Amino acid sequence: MKLIQKLGIALMLCVGAASFTVSAEPLYDKMRGTTPLLEAPKPPVLGNAINDDVRRTRNYPQQPPVIPHRIDGYQIDKNFNKCMDCHSRSKAEISQAIPVSITHYQDRDGNTLGQISTRRYFCVQCHVGQDNVKPLVGNTFQDVDSVILNALKNPANSSKKH
């Protein structure tokens, strides 16, 4: 190979390497930080879950209510469901917990069962405890009451939407 060709190839390789390093800006995610997608980030230490026993307003009627008490160490596996020890219909009087609603006894065909439905067995799939921390991402959700109130205040805006 002629010297000039060798130089040309070397130059092309340099340009390629340079453009690669420029475009490979690390991805930043609020929860993962700059950990690459294929690597697991170090999990943050467990927080101090809110335990004030104050039931929170639901943002919409279908929202699974959040848990206002600690749940550390509550067993939920094929042998036992600690949550149902308090939240089942028959335990409500002793525990004063809100019994799970009828949807928790329904199978996917809408049949009401005598026991908690397997679809609702693993409570923490849907219900979560709360930590007293700053939200990681912003949220502009408005509940239906605010939407109705705004519509009453500005009837012109709301009629346009229909």
**Is the CB of residue 99 less than 8 Å from the CB of residue 88?**
yes
- Span of 12-20, 24-32, 84-92, 133-141 interacting with ligand HEC by CB under 6 A: 84-92
Torsion of CA 113, 115, 117, 122, to 10 degrees: 170
Torsion of CA 146, 30, 126, 109, to 10 degrees: 90
Q: Which is nearer to ligand HEC, 25 or 53 (CB)?
A: 53
The residue from 19, 34, 101, 142 that contacts ligand HEC (CB under 6 A) is 101
Give the C-alpha separation, 9 to 7, whole Å.
6
Give the C-alpha separation, 10 to 2, whole Å.
13
**Total residues at the site for ligand HEC (CB under 6 A)?**
35
CB of 149 to ligand HEC, least distance (A): 24
Segment 38 to 67, residues that bind ligand HEC, using CB under 6 A: 53, 55, 62, 64-65, 67
- Span of 40-48, 68-76, 107-115, 140-148 interacting with ligand HEC by CB under 6 A: 68-76
Handedness of CA 91, 93, 94, 99 (dihedral sign): positive
**Is the CB of residue 55 less than 8 Å from the CB of residue 68?**
yes
CB of 127 to ligand HEC, least distance (A): 4
* 122 binding ligand HEC? (CB under 6 A): yes
| All residues at 6 or more sequence positions from 33 whose CB lies less than 8 Å from its CB, including other chains | 41
* 70 binding ligand HEC? (CB under 6 A): no
Segment 3 to 22, residues that bind ligand HEC, using CB under 6 A: none
- Which residues are near ligand HEC by CB under 6 A? 53, 55, 62, 64-65, 67-69, 71, 74, 81-87, 95-98, 100-101, 103-104, 116, 119-127
